[in-house]
Amino acid sequence: MSDGSISQDEIDALLSGVSMSGAAAPSSGSGNAGLSDFKKNALLKFVNGNIPGLSSNLESMSGKSVSISEPIVEMTEREGFLQNISEMAVASLIDFSGALSGDHVFVMPPDLAQKIVNLVNHEEGTEIDDMALSVISETVSQYAGTEVTSLERSGLSGVVSSPAESLHVPKAMIRLPQRNFISITYNIQLDNSAYKFWEVISESAADAIINTTAGPDPAAQAQDMMTGGGAGAASQTMGGFAQGMQGMQNGFQNFGGAAQGMPQGGMMPMQGMQGGMAMQNMGMNASVQPVQFPPLQGFVTQEEQGNIGLIMDVYMEMTVELGRTKKMIKEILGMGEGHIIELDKLAGEPVDVLVNHKPIAKGEVVVIEENFGVRITEILSPAERIADV
């Protein structure tokens, strides 16, 4: 750098988080320091539930048997992650948006990407070009769709995966989340060969997945109770108890005064005692909020459910609508071969899925072997679908 310019090696070092002197840049976090057993187990349960869908997709695309062993979930940072992957890698960016936002990246070694493309195209020695990267993007998109569907079943609706963008680049150029992130390592057996690939999820997105599928971390809740919320509740309880004791003491004092003025053999009302006990009850009462029940809209009775069961085997016409437009009669009569019709849908906008010409869902167009298909991204509740149909 004596002439003020930066060499290519120095640029690569900067991208990989290494200083110009060759020393490693300070990391933002270490290992699994921020990943509790509860979070790790929750993510493992979520991933294991989606693995059958991943295996099924790979088997249908490649025509070969696929086996995926128990994945490894850990919290890491950029430098530590890059040390475990090959110098060149295929990275697929498919970020979450909508109800769940955050970085989402799949990273696989070039030999696994080539193997998948070779099996899909029934060719050997395929290079990793734009066509091959599109096959990898489709593979990743199908698995991301499985994850989104799983989140919707858990109650987190409105999650959208961006279109996958796959790149064959040096590992130093892979876009990874800042600071710490979740790394999921998959060990896969494809066509009797062992491979490994990784899924990277930002920490914020992982926390949202955990809260949806497993609820809040009990350890974190206990910590909050010890540091904040519990202290306030305890002070309120002790305050009420003190007020109750003061009321009881006043009641006994009043009772003592009444006893001095009481005639022998006579009976006097214990007004002071009653007042003290009443004050005690007021002080000891806890704050109670009314129960809020969910609305009963869309509820299906057992009788209605039985009636619906009678028509479960009836075929219904399902169509996918790319878009609509209006044309004058003279424009329609003037159409010929090669004429292009512009629809009201924007490029990349979800298409409508209809049953008997009534919309029930939205999705995006995918390619399955030689056919087109639709991956559902948004769907109405069962009760609403029955009402619309």
We report the CATH number of the domain holding residue 54 as: 3.40.1550.10
Q: Does residue 190 lie within any of the structural domains?
A: yes
Residues 203 and 348 in one domain: no
| Mean pLDDT, contiguous 10-residue spans, the chain (389 residues) | 54 48 40 77 94 91 91 94 95 92 95 94 89 94 92 89 93 92 96 95 93 77 58 48 52 47 46 48 54 51 65 82 86 83 84 84 86 85 60
Counted domains in the chain: 2
Pick the closest to residue 49 from 163, 161, 209, 217 (CA basis). Answer: 209
Residues 102 and 207 in one domain: yes
Domain of 350, CATH number, reads 2.30.330.10
Q: Does residue 234 lie within any of the structural domains?
A: no
Residues 209 and 316 in one domain: no
Question: What is the predicted pLDDT for the residue at 142?
Answer: 92
Within 8 A by CB and 6+ apart from 189, the residues are 66, 67, 68, 69, 195
Phi, psi of 17 (to 5 degrees): 85, 25
Q: Does residue 237 lie within any of the structural domains?
A: no
Query: Cα dihedral sign for 58, 60, 62, 64?
Result: positive
Q: Does residue 277 lie within any of the structural domains?
A: no
Among candidate residues 213, 234, 256, the one where a domain is terminated: 213
Question: What is the predicted pLDDT for the residue at 283?
Answer: 47
Residues 164 and 27 in one domain: yes
Find out whether 288 and 319 touch, Cβ atoms under 8 Å. Answer: no
Pick the closest to residue 204 from 180, 174, 223, 175 (CA basis). Answer: 180
Q: Does residue 250 lie within any of the structural domains?
A: no
Alpha carbon distance 210, 204 (integer Å): 10
Residues 90 and 209 in one domain: yes
Question: What is the predicted pLDDT for the residue at 269?
Answer: 46
Find out whether 91 and 107 touch, Cβ atoms under 8 Å. Answer: yes
Q: Does residue 249 lie within any of the structural domains?
A: no
Residues 200 and 54 in one domain: yes
Q: Does residue 220 lie within any of the structural domains?
A: no
Residues 311 and 203 in one domain: no
Question: What is the predicted pLDDT for the residue at 202?
Answer: 94
Q: Does residue 263 lie within any of the structural domains?
A: no
List the domain range (segments joined by +) for residue 178.
Answer: 8-213
Alpha carbon distance 249, 242 (integer Å): 11
Among candidate residues 213, 237, 261, the one where a domain is terminated: 213
Within 8 A by CB and 6+ apart from 199, the residues are 47, 104, 105, 106, 107, 183, 184, 186
Pick the closest to residue 179 from 159, 200, 165 (CA basis). Answer: 200
Residues 206 and 322 in one domain: no
State pTM to two decimals: 0.53
Among candidate residues 176, 195, 213, the one where a domain is terminated: 213
Alpha carbon distance 82, 198 (integer Å): 11
Residues 64 and 203 in one domain: yes
Question: What is the predicted pLDDT for the residue at 244?
Answer: 52
| Residue 355 CA: distances (Å) to CA of 32, 361, 385 | 48, 9, 9
Alpha carbon distance 16, 31 (integer Å): 18
